[in-house]
Amino acid sequence: MIRPADAWVLVLALASLVAYGAWRARATRDLHGFLVAGRSMPWPMVALSVMATQASAVTFMATPGQGYVGGLSFLQFYFGLPVAMVVLCATLVPLYQRLRVHTAYEYLERRFDGKTRTLAAALFLVQRGLAAGITLYAPSLVLSVILGWDIGLTCVLLGALVVGTIVLGGSKAVAHAHALQFTIIMGAMTLAFVLVLRELPLGMGLADALTVAGGSGKMVALDASFDPASRYNLWAGLLGGFFLQLSYFGTDQSQVGRILTAGSTRESRLGLLWNGLFKVPMQWFILLLGVLVFVAYRFEPAPVFFNPAESAKAAAGPHAAAWSAAERDWNAARAELARALIDGRQAERAGDVAGGLAASVAARSAEARAQDARGRALAALTATDPGANTNDTNYIFLRYVLEHLPVGVVGLVLAAIFAAAMNSTMAELNALASTTVVDVVRRLPWRVDEPGLLAWSRGATLFWTVFAVAFAQLAGRMGSLVEAVNILGSLFYGAILGIFLTGFLVPRAGGTHVFAAALVGEAAVLACWRWTPLSFLWWNLIGCVLTVAVAALLAQARPAPRS
Amino acid sequence: MIDRAERDATTPPEPEAPPPLGSWARLYALVLAALALDLVLLAWLTERYR
């Protein structure tokens, strides 16, 4: 249960954010402001907004959990990002700014035809609508864990809060709120990092913690081996990640919408390049926080399963005896592990090689027994409820924060999570509403005037919120949320990026060529997902290359008439 | 909104301030060099704590 002081910090921080959003919202009274903030944002605002849109509550909660479970290897996912920023600045950004478009898909009608624009917009709407469900689910998870609320109801409440702010504020409010939110989130993260480091026993410093983490394989940030089935390695990150980030920042309206709020090409470019410069170090820092939590838990009792709701169900269910036995063995093995690690550290300091070796053997044995006990606990969990989610990655960091950080800081960290959730969901819903209005409603046979379009924008925001809330009910079964968002995006990004790249690379390709090619690319990606063990980052490359190649072949066979 | 969009499209853009470092190519090179440095540091860290 949250302590009163933390509740006050949380309420005050959220109230400030909502008040700030409402204050900014007062100026947004037309559709141009609602869609692209009147193209008035300077580059620092664009940079913060772009980074905040990508760094949602999922980033804040699930990435440290990812660091705890998989170490730094997830960092490789971002290696293609700086290259993608440079390519975007040189190609799509000046094009978008020159054409003065409101959505990325407007460009496709000018280059190809209406049906290609509709296809890309439809792929975006489906993919981003589903992803918005996950970004809404993440903070709801926080509330349900802390307050014991029903998670479905919590999703609905948070959705209502977000939709209220965005309907009032539009794109401008989103951009300004992002700047404030990003400051809060990075401040809270830095504070958490320092406090976790100070919690480490035996006067351990950062270097000692990294040595302990390295001993458990958590410090592998770069794996140069080439394995297509491996989710994170250098090549998947550089090549697959490049295509994913290129598609996300260049063709996903939730990011293109942020880039278009800039007053000029210069401001858009500087915002993106700033992101390219600092994204990898920032993600390293967030993952390292998770690694530090892992090290801290090596020396003190850790729960056998981090999701308290599922644990409570198993402890009270028909397999309670098996659960209790597993939990008891886990606690004993973990206590032994902590003792062995402390002995090892002391032996190392005393230069006692034999003592160090003995401690290392004892630690390995305790670790094996702990893993065995956790396996039995998970078996009891699924025996109690076959539908139970056995992935507790998303709960790890939150649990640590609640149980270890001092009063006040817990409230601040929770406020950061809520702020991140609200603002990333806002950006997504704003993009979904923009695409619905600009790429669908404005092209309807009957003309809708500006007040009508503004009303449609607000209505579309409401519709997509309901859609996201409905999908959020399923998000809990998707494992690590930060991975789920990217896997979902990778199902569609390749074909969408392929459509845009065909526009640049295949001058002879027409609308029908690229439309057919995109369907082939998308079918191939879906086949990879369904029937191959290929890691999701490669889907982006396959979908993109196949779309461009098939469009080029079709254009070669039957060139489009010149318009 | 459409009127405004049309006005946007027809208004000649104001001359932009030059990028930091004097050219975009230099800025792009800086971002890519920073990535290369990140990779070298991460490779070193991976080996150091393996």
pLDDT in tens, A421-447: 777 787 888 889 889 988 888 888 877
Are A82 and B34 in contact (CB < 8 Å)? yes
- pLDDT at position A412, please? 84
- Kindly identify which residue of chain B lies nearest to residue A75, measuring between CA atoms: B42
pLDDT of B32 higher than 60: yes
CA distances from A44 to A83, A259, A424, A525, B19 (A): 20, 11, 18, 36, 14
Q: Which of A32, A40, A294, A437 to mutate to test the interface with B (most CBs of B within 10 A)?
A: A32
A35 to chain B: which residues are within 8 Å by CB?
1
User: Three-state DSSP class for A262?
Assistant: strand
The residue-averaged pLDDT of A135-160 equals 75
The residue-averaged pLDDT of A2-29 equals 74
Least confident of A222-226, A351-355, A478-482, B41-45: A478-482
- Kindly identify which residue of chain B lies nearest to residue A38, measuring between CA atoms: B4
Distance (Å) from the C-alpha of residue B40 to the closest C-alpha of chain A? 9
pLDDT of A496 higher than 60: yes
The partner residue sitting opposite A32, judged by closest CB among B4, B35, B43, is B4
Cα distance between residue A63 and residue A481, in whole Å: 9
- pLDDT at position B24, please? 94
Are B31 and A284 in contact (CB < 8 Å)? no
Are A85 and B31 in contact (CB < 8 Å)? yes
A214 to chain B: which residues are within 8 Å by CB?
48-50
Are A222 and B20 in contact (CB < 8 Å)? no
- The per-residue pLDDT for range A295-305, each reduced to its tens digit, is 999 888 899 99
- pLDDT at position A514, please? 92
Q: Decide if A112 contacts A510 (C-beta within 8 A).
A: yes
Per-residue pLDDT band for A102 (boundaries 50, 70, 90) equals confident
A72 to chain B: which residues are within 8 Å by CB?
42, 46
The CA R_g of chain B, rounded to the nearest whole Å, is: 21
Distance (Å) from the C-alpha of residue B27 to the closest C-alpha of chain A? 8
Cα distance between residue A378 and residue A311, in whole Å: 9
- pLDDT at position A142, please? 65
pLDDT of A348 higher than 60: yes
When the pLDDT of each residue in chain A is averaged and rounded to a whole number, the result is 85
- pLDDT at position B3, please? 46
- pLDDT at position A32, please? 66
- pLDDT at position A38, please? 61
The residue-averaged pLDDT of A370-386 equals 92
pTM of the model: 0.82
- Kindly identify which residue of chain B lies nearest to residue A34, measuring between CA atoms: B1
The residue-averaged pLDDT of A3-7 equals 85
Q: Decide if A437 contacts A410 (C-beta within 8 A).
A: no
Per-residue pLDDT band for A534 (boundaries 50, 70, 90) equals confident
pLDDT of B14 higher than 70: no
- pLDDT at position A417, please? 79
Higher pLDDT, A178 or A463: A463
pLDDT of A165 higher than 80: no
B4 to chain A: which residues are within 8 Å by CB?
30, 32
Per-residue pLDDT band for A408 (boundaries 50, 70, 90) equals confident
Per-residue pLDDT band for A89 (boundaries 50, 70, 90) equals very high
- pLDDT at position A272, please? 95
Phi then psi dihedrals of residue A303, to 5 deg: -70, 150
Are A100 and B43 in contact (CB < 8 Å)? no
Touching B: A residues 40-99, CB under 8 Å: 72, 75, 79, 82-83, 85-86, 89-90, 99
Q: Decide if A287 contacts A55 (C-beta within 8 A).
A: no
Q: Decide if A414 contacts A16 (C-beta within 8 A).
A: no
CB pairs under 8 A between A and B: 84
Cα distance between residue A500 and residue A240, in whole Å: 17
The residue-averaged pLDDT of A285-306 equals 92
Per-residue pLDDT band for A456 (boundaries 50, 70, 90) equals confident
Please give the single-letter amino acid code of residue A3. R
pLDDT of A544 higher than 60: yes
Are A270 and B34 in contact (CB < 8 Å)? no
Q: Decide if A104 contacts A246 (C-beta within 8 A).
A: no
